[in-house]
């Protein structure tokens, strides 16, 4: 009985210490007007957790226990991306390309080529945005339309990425790998960050709460 009481006392002390640190941190943030930095830090932390969790689930666990479902979704999504991006490349950009639909490969006149596989589907980035918005604070009434709209914008970003890479491949093919890895891939996260800023600044209701606090 004495041991249980001692453990319970320690638990209370830990809880009190946690709340004390939390209160001091929040007071410091309010006093120095660091709320925006706090939100950005939270965005980065959540995004990194989702990113590495997804990679571990995909590469180490092979999407267990829904392996077939996820592989099928990525395969179908890659097919949609292939059809829409090749249409944009041919009809909007006017670039001649030879298509091999069975392997989702496009070959350009300079013999450069791109293949749209499961990793090009944009599924990971769409799910990153969806999960980010689900766990980030804000009214669900607005999330119900903002999340689908944002997922569609991420899909359009993927189409922009592929059509942009086709321009690189036909004009400066030696820059294709650099453009793929260091320009168009990070662009996904620029778009997601911009939508997140829109959410925090305009839709989450945080500004209204700040105004209410300042008038008290």
99/124 same-domain check: yes
28/59 same-domain check: no
**Which structure tokens are listed for 133?**
């918005």
27/50 same-domain check: no
Per-residue pLDDT averaged across 84-100, rounded?
A: 95
Query: What's the Cα-to-Cα distance from 72 to each of 3, 145, 213, rounded to whole Å?
Result: 54, 26, 49
- Assess contact for 116 and 97: CB atoms under 8 A: no
12/52 same-domain check: no
- Assess contact for 165 and 184: CB atoms under 8 A: yes
Centre a 10 Å sphere on the Cβ of residue 154 and count the other Cβ atoms it contains.
22
27/47 same-domain check: no
Is this prediction's pTM over 0.85? Answer: no
Show Cβ contacts of residue 210 under 8 Å, excluding neighbours closer than 6 positions: 35
- Please, what is the average pLDDT of the chain? 84
Instruction: Examine the pLDDT at 24 and tell me if it is beyond 90.
Output: no
1/86 same-domain check: no
111/20 same-domain check: no
6/83 same-domain check: no
pLDDT of residue 130: 95
- Assess contact for 139 and 205: CB atoms under 8 A: yes
| pLDDT bracket for residue 10 (50, 70, 90) | low
Q: Domain limits at 136? A: 37-215
96/113 same-domain check: yes
First to last CA, the chain: 48
Instruction: Examine the pLDDT at 14 and tell me if it is beyond 60.
Output: no
| pLDDT bracket for residue 136 (50, 70, 90) | confident
- Assess contact for 75 and 82: CB atoms under 8 A: no
Domain count across the chain: 2
**Which structure tokens are listed for 195?**
């939508």
pLDDT tens digit sequence for 103-129: 999 999 999 999 999 989 999 999 999
86/146 same-domain check: yes
Instruction: Examine the pLDDT at 29 and tell me if it is beyond 60.
Output: no
pLDDT tens digit sequence for 59-90: 999 999 999 999 999 999 999 999 999 999 99
């Amino acid at each position: 009985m004495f041991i249980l009481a001692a453990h319970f006392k320690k638990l209370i002390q830990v809880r009190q210490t946690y709340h004390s640190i939390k209160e001091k941190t929040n007071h410091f943030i309010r006093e120095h007007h660091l709320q925006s930095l706090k939100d950005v830090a939270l965005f980065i932390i959540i995004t990194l957790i989702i990113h590495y969790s997804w990679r571990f689930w995909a590469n180490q666990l092979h999407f267990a226990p829904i392996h077939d479902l996820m592989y099928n979704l990525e395969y179908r999504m890659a097919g949609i991306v292939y059809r829409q991006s090749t249409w944009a490349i041919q009809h909007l950009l006017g670039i001649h390309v030879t298509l091999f639909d069975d392997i989702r490969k496009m070959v350009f006149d300079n013999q450069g080529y791109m293949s749209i596989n499961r990793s090009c589907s944009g599924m990971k980035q769409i799910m990153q945005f969806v999960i980010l918005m689900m766990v980030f604070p804000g009214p669900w009434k607005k999330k119900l339309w903002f999340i689908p709209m944002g997922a569609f914008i991420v899909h359009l970003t993927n189409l922009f990425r592929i059509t942009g890479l086709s321009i690189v491949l036909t004009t400066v093919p030696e820059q294709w790998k650099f453009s793929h890895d260091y320009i168009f891939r990070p662009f996904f996260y620029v778009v997601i960050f911009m939508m997140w800023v829109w959410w925090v600044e305009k839709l989450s209701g945080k500004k209204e709460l700040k105004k209410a606090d300042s008038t008290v």
